[in-house]
Structure 1
Amino acid sequence: MTSAIFTNGRPLTEPEFLAIGETPERIELFDGSLYVSPGPTPIHQHVSTRLAVRLIPAVEEAGLHLHEAVNLRLRPDRIPIADLVITTDIDYYELVIDSSAARLVCEIISPSNSTTDRVLKMSYYAEAGIPWYLLVDPRTGELRLYGISDGEYVLHATAEPGVPLQLTDPVRVAIDPAELLPPQ
């Protein structure tokens, strides 16, 4: 992951960040700095799509919404792009989703930013009070579900290929990681 700040050397504000508009690059705002990462790998996108397809019926049954690769405002100077987010009702025409609407956020670990997903984003999502954090490792197929407790995430459940993850909140669904991985 690469960090950059505009040439004037001061932190970027949220309005300046949003003024960048849509770009082919994956640009996130962390505490006034821009973080630019390469586009997702084919395995990342395969897992993301398969997971979304698996979640959609349960999300709709719960009266919630599923979003892929969206700007998620954790606070005014902190807007990551979450791989998947389950939310309550939102305004679909806004540039960002406020974290108060998020019920579960999922990150799929990429080789270029594994520390960001495992440490930085996990900490930021917990600080924002998002109830559930799902971390997916496409190399091993492991799913790790964390629940918020006293402002920090605590491991709630794990799953590996052949051993499904049983989600009961915010949606009810069993996910076998083997179903998310590409054919070997």
Structure 2
Amino acid sequence: MREVTGMVTLESGRGGFSLPRPPFTVDTLFTLPDDGLRYEVLEGVLTVTPPATPEHNRAADRLGRLIDPLLTHDAEVITASAVRMPDGDGLVPDLMVTTADLEEFPRGVPAELVHSVIEVVSPSNSSDDRVKKSRLYAKARIPCYWRLELRAWKEHFGPVPAVVVSLLGDDGEWESNIYEAGRSHKLPLVIDINRTMIHVEMDPAVLMGPRR
């Protein structure tokens, strides 16, 4: 049997693994093979995207290294781990800032202990990052969402890379600002359950290209 979810064709049956059957939840993610693909459950739909490009991973790694020294001892920045959403979905951001005891939550970090999420936008899943995940993170009351755009998009034809920082208002709506390459900015980041905010000072240009 062949099944297409997201951008990748999966094989099941002879010579492959058995695809799980719906309903899909965050727990489904822990039944799937560790094959380098990115599996997520978005609004009850199991999605899969190809392995990230080196450019994508370099940007995420550099961003994580910038953030980590600024965190309190209770907070950590971790990569590509599942968030246990209130409705049972399982989103896997490129980076998250959490104060969870990770040994206590080996099968995904509860959304209430995720204080900031960061997605590096790829062409294969740009609409998910810009629209669907934005909506789901807001619904889960995660207070800070960074979206790192490596290329221009329809709302921004200025310098890239650019970081779209969205902070959740009391009304449940995002308040967003774009920080573009070319000069240093102080980007707000929420780091704990009390919504303590720090500022990451950087020019987004450092996330791409040769080391500076």
- Normalised by the length of structure 1, the TM-score is 0.87
Which amino acid is 1:151 matched to? Answer: G
- C-alpha displacement at 1:9, in angstroms? 6.4
**Distance in 2 separating the partners of 1:3 and 1:32:** 18
Paired-residue identity, %: 28
Are 1:127 and 1:152, in contact at CA under 8 Å, matched by a contact in 2? no
Q: 1:16 to 1:48 in 2, by over 3 A?
A: closer
Which residue number in structure 1 is paired with residue 134 of structure 2?
122
Counterpart CA distance in 2 for 1:64 and 1:7 is 36
Change (3 A) 1:12 1:136: same
Partner of 2:12: none
Counterpart of 1:48 (choices 23, 44, 60) is 60
Aligned to 2:107: 95
Corresponding pairs, count: 182
- Dislocated runs of 4+, deviation >4 Å: 6-9
Please name the residue that 1:154 is paired with: 175
- Paired residue for 2:120? 108
Structure-2-length-normalised TM-score: 0.76
Tell me by how many angstroms 1:21 deviates.
5.5
Q: Is the 8 A contact 1:3 1:33 kept in 2?
A: no
Per the TM alignment, residue 87 of structure 1 is displaced from its structure 2 partner at its CA by 0.9
Provide closer, same or farther for how the CA distance between residues 8 and 21 of structure 1 changes in structure 2, counting only shifts above 3 A: closer
Residue 67 (str. 1) matches residue 88 (str. 2): no
Q: How does 1:78-93 map to 2 (within 5 A)?
A: 78-92=89-103
Higher relative contact order (CA 8 A, sep 6+): 1
Answer whether contact 1:85 1:106 (CA < 8 A) is retained: yes
Shift of 1:88: 1.4
State whether residues 163 and 178 of structure 2, in contact with CA within 8 Å, keep that contact through their aligned partners in structure 1: yes
Structure 2 residue ranges without an equivalent (≥5): 1-5, 10-17, 152-159, 191-197
Look up the match of 1:179: 206
* Deviation for aligned residue 1:47: 0.4
| Alpha-carbon distance, 1:95 to partner | 1.7
2:58 alignment partner, SS class: helix
Distance in 2 separating the partners of 1:145 and 1:25: 27
Q: Deviations 1:123-146 (Å, cap 9, x if unpaired)?
A: 000000000000101122011100
Aligned residues of 1:90 and 1:101 also touching (Cα < 8 A)? no
Amino acid at match of 2:200: V
Contact 2:100 2:109 in 1 (8 A): no
